[in-house]
Structure 1
Amino acid sequence: MRAHRALWLAIPAVLLGASLSAGPAHADPIGGTGWTLAFSDEFSGTAVDTAKWNYRTDVKAYSAQRPENVSVADGLLNINLKQETYAGKSFTGGGLVSKQSLRYGYYETRAKINDGVGWHSAFWLMSGDGSTTLSPTARTEIDGFEIDSTSSPAALATNHSGVHTWKGNGSAASYNPGSTYNTGLDLRQWHVYGIDWAETSVKFYVDGVLKYTAPYTPSQWTHDYLNIWLTTIGYGTSPNPAFLPSAVQFDYIRYWQKDYYVDNDGPAAYGYSETGTWYDSTLTGWTYASPTRYAACGSAGNTATWRPNLRSAGTYQVYVYTLVYANSDANARYDIAGSTTYVNGTTGSSGWVSLGSFTLPAGTSTAVKLTSSGTGCARADAVKFVQV
């Protein structure tokens, strides 16, 4: 279903940006202002909140993953690690995968890794529901921490953070920046891990200290919506039964958002609408395989509107992605907050064009409206609101 063919107000709150599961307010996580807690689980109940989470249930390497191994008690998520025969494996692990998929922002968890040999624990982001490691929709994987447990305390200070790209169905792509580093910490103790994911970089933190920055320039596999994974599986070497049963624990998971993207397709199309006559274009937009739209060429008065759901009031730099093409609109009009900007889509190169800086209220009252001039074909893709 195309979002521009339905009333955007009918889109579920999970895609609008209204929190599906926001918890209590927390301070801005990594400095600056404008961060709003948009998803969280403090694991304060007595059972997994299945409205928020799927279980990881795949079979991989040395273990099968079981929902029975995952529990919530005393304010903690526990992933129990066992020696038992199940689904053709001699060991079982488990984990949770968020039902809500998210994009740019700051993700944080506090975790305590198990002692013992043969387990791979991770706090990571990738499209999927936990039934398989790599779903057909998997394009971007962001690893906040990947820790392989061994009986060596020195090895249990080692973490890997980075980005992997995929072509779907487990076929790897070529862009995979990452770093394996000694944290100088005993990761069997409690530590805080953060992922600051933006359009051009991913920054990785341990206990508030920046450990690695992965370049994240626009490419053919980036910018999709991802689920949060908190998981442990038998991997690398066969688990040592002498250390079992054991458990990996998570204290909380939190996601803050600051910037907002509204597209003409996919989950980010929650606030997109059109009037007049529009068609699908063969021109790709700001991200891989992103379809774009164009108004009837030579016809004035067609409109496309992008309306974000801003979680907080503030000052935002607003950009529209302009598609430059020989027959694009040479005088496309953009209106926002009483300001008008005209953009010539026939010269220069495609990319983000600033419409200016605006003080905007929280909620859905703000809109960017494109109106075709009739001189060529007005083209619509995406608008972003970057809080400054």
Structure 2
Amino acid sequence: MQKINLSIVLFIILLATPNIKIGAQAPAGYGLVWADEFNDPLTTDGKPALRPDKGDWWYETGGGGWGNNELQYYVAGTTTFYNDTLAGINDGTLKIKAIKRKYYGMEYASVRMNTSNSWTYGYFEMRAKLPGGKGVWSAFWMLPKNFQSWPLDGEIDIMEYVGYDPNVVHASIHTQAYNHKIGTQKTSTKTIQNAENEFHVYGLEWTETRIRAYVDGELYFTFSNDGTGNKNTWPFNVPFYLKLNLAIGGDWGGAQGVDTQIFPATYEIDYVRVYQKNTALNNQKEEKSFESNFNRVSNLLQISFKDKCLHHLFVTDMQGRVLADFSTTNSMMEIDCSAWAKGIYLISVESGKQLNTQKFINY
């Protein structure tokens, strides 16, 4: 049986402190089903950890403008020739960087990351500090898993930010009927304070009937399903991936030119989380991949896994704070809950392609 050592217990206690991780803004009735908290330690040689080492993300690479006349070449985390780290994790955040360096014929190098998982409906959230300066264009957005054609297949922009327009964030959708190429895009903007110097929470709720975007829990964009069943107006009924990227220049990001003195530019992400309605979780038909039992006397949460494989486990409280996040191949393990407040918690375990969530009560 695996036991978490004292250092991990202390790490869990720190994560439980509200000042370390702020509460999520997920609507009532939603439970956490996936998260990347970017809490990895430095490597053994003292360098930032990299993604996609856990298999949760994959990189999209290449240049050519990406349909928007962008100026960067997207690399797989590091530059091949120069060994620049452009997607490193340290001090509890993922730092996506854009640098001014000629790379495969492009003027800049940066990163575009795509989740390995996809979801149909849910609440999607990121806490981030945005890069500033003329020419940068950061985004947290979604495209369909089976993407074939833009804009017919749809696009959901949870957050976009162009550096020449400080402190103004954008949320948009794109479809065949509604897109910026024909001047019919559906979008809203929100002015916030210190977008480039402080962390803010960017969230989006996507249901069968509407899409709504938030900043720090405040609703500022709504797009409703017209109910016609027409893909041209509502293609949002299939699985979508999440994306993070930092572009340079382009039709929008470079509309006022590029300030070459701002590099390296950094897009800093504290976490990315995905929630879905609890009813969907509770009604899963597949056999559970794990069993849990809370021992009140010893304050130990005991977990046993059905199959022998890699299990990714995380525990959250009902405010969305992640108290434990790690992977194991052991068949059993225990978590010391003595430092946790009394209340209801969610245990989520991803085993292969199966995700199960259970509740337990610390009483």
Give the shorter-chain TM-score range. 0.5 to 0.7
> What is the aligned counterpart of 1:258 among 277, 289, 306?
277
Opposite residue 38 of structure 1, the aligned amino acid is V
2:328 corresponds to which residue?
none
Q: Is the 8 A contact 1:104 1:197 kept in 2?
A: yes
User: Alpha-carbon deviations, 1:109-145, whole Å to 9, x = none?
Assistant: 011111221011001111259xxxx755871211111
1:75–1:159: structure 2 CA closer, same or farther, 3 Å change rule? same
1: CA distance between counterparts of 2:246 and 2:102? Answer: 17
The match for 1:184 is 192
Shift of 1:239: 2.8
Question: Relative to 1, partners in 2 of residues 1:222 and 1:259: Cα closer, same or farther, differing over 3 Å?
Answer: farther
Q: How many angstroms does 1:214 deviate by?
A: 1.4
Partner of 1:54: 58
The Cα of 1:84 is off from its aligned counterpart by 0.6
* Shift in CA distance, 135/186, structure 1 to aligned 2, threshold 3 Å: farther
Within-5 A mapping of 1:228-239: 228-235=242-249, 236-237=253-254, 238-239=257-258
Partner of residue 241 from structure 2, selected from 210, 221, 227: 227
CA distance in 1, matches of 2:57, 2:92: 16
1:113 to 130, 154, 159: 130
- Structure 2: which amino acid aligns with 1:30? A
Q: Which amino acid is the alignment partner of residue 202 of structure 1?
A: I
Structure 1 unaligned spans of 5+: 1-22, 263-268, 272-361, 364-388
Q: What's the % identity of the aligned pairs?
A: 25
Q: Kindly tell me: are residues 128 and 92 of structure 1, through their superposed partners in 2, closer, same or farther at Cα, counting changes over 3 Å? A: farther
3-state SS of paired residue (2:261): helix
Equivalent residue in structure 2 for 1:248, among 267, 273, 286: 267
Q: Are residues 87 and 166 of structure 1, via their aligned partners in 2, closer, same or farther at CA, if it must alter by over 3 Å?
A: farther
| Structure with more relative contact order (C-alpha pairs < 8 Å, separation 6 or more) | 2
> Larger Rg: 1 or 2?
1
Matched ranges for 1:260-339 at <5 A = none
Give the match for residue 147 of structure 1. 161
Cα pair distance change 1:223/1:174, threshold 3 Å: farther
In 2, are the aligned partners of 1:105 and 1:255 still within 8 Å (CA)?
yes
Q: 1:202 to 1:259 in 2, by over 3 A?
A: farther
Match of 2:115 in 1: 98
Shift of 1:231: 0.8
Q: Give me the whole-angstrom Cα distance separating, in 1, the residues matched to 2:248 and 2:123.
A: 28
Q: Which of 160, 165, 183 is 2:175 aligned to?
A: 165
The match for 1:30 is 26
2:171 equivalent to 1:156: no
Determine if contact 1:109/1:251 at 8 Å carries over to the other structure. yes
| 2:262 counterpart letter in structure 1 | F
The AA in structure 1 aligned to 2:214 is Y
CA change 1:54–1:135 in 2 (3 A) is farther
Q: What is the aligned-residue RMSD (CA, Å)?
A: 3.4
Distance across 2 between alignment mates of 1:171 and 1:97: 23
Gap change, CA 1:28 and 1:251, over 3 Å in 2: closer
Q: How much does 1:48 deviate?
A: 1.3
Shift of 1:105: 0.8
Distance 2:94 2:133 in 1: 19
Matched, 1:198 2:221: no
Letter in 1 for 2:168: T
Q: CA deviation at 1:187?
A: 1.4
Matched, 1:42 2:37: yes
Instruction: From the superposition, tell whether residues 192 and 38 of structure 1 become closer, same or farther in structure 2 (CA, over 3 Å).
Output: same
Distance verdict in 2 for CA 1:200–1:172, change over 3 Å: farther
Find the counterpart in structure 2 of residue 347 from structure 1: none
